[in-house]
Structure 1
Amino acid sequence: MKFASLGSGSEGNALLISASDAAHSTTIMLDCGFAVRETERRLQRLGLQPDALSGIFVTHEHKDHVGGVFKLARRYGIPVWLSRGTFHAVRSDSSGVDVRFCRDGDRIEVGGLQMAPYTVPHDAREPIQYVATDGCYRLGVLTDAGQATTHLIQRLGGCDALMVECNHDLQMLAGSSYPASLKQRIGGAYGHLSNSTMAEILSALDKSRLRMVIGAHLSQQNNTPELARASLCEAIGDLPARVMIACQEQGFDWVELAHPELAVVEA
């Protein structure tokens, strides 16, 4: 099992998750906030063609997550999974696409992968995030959530790798030039996770299997990779877990989930 990011941030998000054995390979995309041509270009950088995708899973309807989903799915005949609430927010764009519904508590089997959606607090119609597994390893994803909940902490426990939101530094957001209403929205209970809140969540998780943490969805105005990394490192303490930061332009290359240590592999 391996995963890679096409890019992470307010200008577009897309994550690839892949599982393979001697006979079969399955690759899905989690969100697609890039235009089709840009998505194709970023996929090519990772050694993948769009027609190799077995499905696209959507977290919520905001443009930086769903902007390219239906055009890509329509062009290449890719099925799309999303919550009913998200579908009602974007249904006008979904004509001609194989749309399938999922919700918290489901277990969706796609080839060698199982996707488990779970609800999160965010200012969208029915936002969900996902835990992916190939039956051996678990990857948990958490972005676009405004606060910690017992439910999301439970769902992310016991993962081998986590890709988690470090959207903003509280002091940088407070001192930014953003209007007060936007600051309130970002820092509110249904906005985005700060470095410190994400560290609190990470501290509360079952980290017995954790070997990789990737900070994601960083604000280019209200955070820095150095601040996000420091916060994550403090939260994991002495655990032998690797910490990385996903960027908007490059995301990150394929990371293979393999013990005793995680390896970054070339496409």
Structure 2
Amino acid sequence: MAGLRFATLGSGSRGNATVVRCGRTTVLMDCGFAVNETLRRLAVLGLTGEDLCAIVVTHEHGDHMGGVARLARRFKLPVWLTAGTYRGAGTPKLPEVRLFNPHEAFVIGDLAIQPYPVPHDAREPCQFVFSDGDQRLGVLSDAGHVTPHMRRCLDGLDALILEFNHDPGLLAAGPYPPELQARVGGQLGHLNNHQAVELLAGVDRQALQHLIAGHISEKNNSPHHVRQALADRLPAEAAELTLAPQDQGLDWHEMVRHR
């Protein structure tokens, strides 16, 4: 019997959104797309806006939160976010605001959700681990470096969507001005390929059924660089890696239950 299911509507600097489904509960994590584009991408997965139960938000940057308020108002969805993210977004008009502590788990329907704080240049950013009580899906994006707490939260997962944002060499030689290069590659920026690989190498991967590379920069990275960085350190995982695209999203991935 299938348990947790997840899919992405898109992953990258032009918009991010991930769908997590368990039983009767369908949650959207972030929404960086306009409403009509979000609905179009949901339809590819066989979903409508009415299927959503809630939106959970990682942080206030536009590629993650730009479409949240309009989508929430249109479908009267509760929005879960930290107090810092809510203030950082300018306290937008939402049909229902549910503030949470990034160190405390909460429940939405059939999903248990464990947030965890990450180092990023936002007001109170976090990422999430979703669980049905048996399986665990972790998401890590928009983090400038890896903390011990992040490693503990992502240990022993069944599925992981992990940021492989940039290759340091491509970033240094790329089109970004020096100040933007410093932001992206800094301690509060985004994980590069090598940081992502080292994080993966340091956690228990025995139960890992799905490994997704996300938030891949279109200007400072490439699928080849992502796969090569992983293959150099973890060839078995490189063979199973799936890349989350920006434009068309990623279809449903299901996990097999342990019991």
Task: Specify the TM-score bucket, using the shorter chain as the normaliser.
Answer: over 0.9
Unaligned runs of 5+ in 1: 261-267
Amino acid at match of 1:181: E
Cα distance in 1 between the residues matched to 2:81 and 2:91 = 14
Conservation of the 8 A alpha-carbon contact between 2:31 and 2:64: yes
**Which residue is 2:33 aligned to?**
34
Cα distance in 1 between the residues matched to 2:112 and 2:38 = 24
**Which residue is 1:264 aligned to?**
none
Conservation of the 8 A alpha-carbon contact between 1:202 and 1:235: no
Cα distance in 2 between the residues matched to 1:48 and 1:229 = 31
Alpha-carbon shift at residue 96 of structure 1 (Å): 4.1
CA deviations 1:25-66 (Å, max 9, x no partner) are: 110000000000100110011100111111100000000000
Normalising by structure 1, what TM-score? 0.92
CA deviations 1:210-239 (Å, max 9, x no partner) are: 121100001100101121123234444446
Query: Within the alignment, does 1:155 sit opposite 2:153 as a pair?
Result: yes
Pick from 18, 21, 24: which aligns with 1:18?
21
Alpha-carbon shift at residue 177 of structure 1 (Å): 2.1
Amino acid at match of 2:39: E
Unaligned runs of 5+ in 2: none
Secondary structure of the structure 2 residue equivalent to 1:139: strand
Bigger relative CO (Cα 8 Å, ≥ 6 apart): 2
Change (3 A) 1:241 1:131: farther
Normalising by structure 2, what TM-score? 0.95
Amino acid at match of 1:90: A
Percent of matched pairs sharing the same residue: 46
Secondary structure of the structure 1 residue equivalent to 2:40: helix
CA deviations 1:58-111 (Å, max 9, x no partner) are: 000000000000100011011000000000012442x24201011222221111
- Residues 187-206 of structure 1: matches in 2 within 5 Å? 187-206=185-204
**Which residue is 1:138 aligned to?**
136
What's the C-alpha RMSD, in Å, of the aligned pairs? 1.5
Pick from 168, 191, 200: which aligns with 1:170?
168
**Which residue is 2:209 aligned to?**
211
Secondary structure of the structure 2 residue equivalent to 1:257: strand
Cα distance in 2 between the residues matched to 1:129 and 1:235 = 25
Conservation of the 8 A alpha-carbon contact between 1:116 and 1:130: yes
Cα distance in 2 between the residues matched to 1:255 and 1:241 = 17
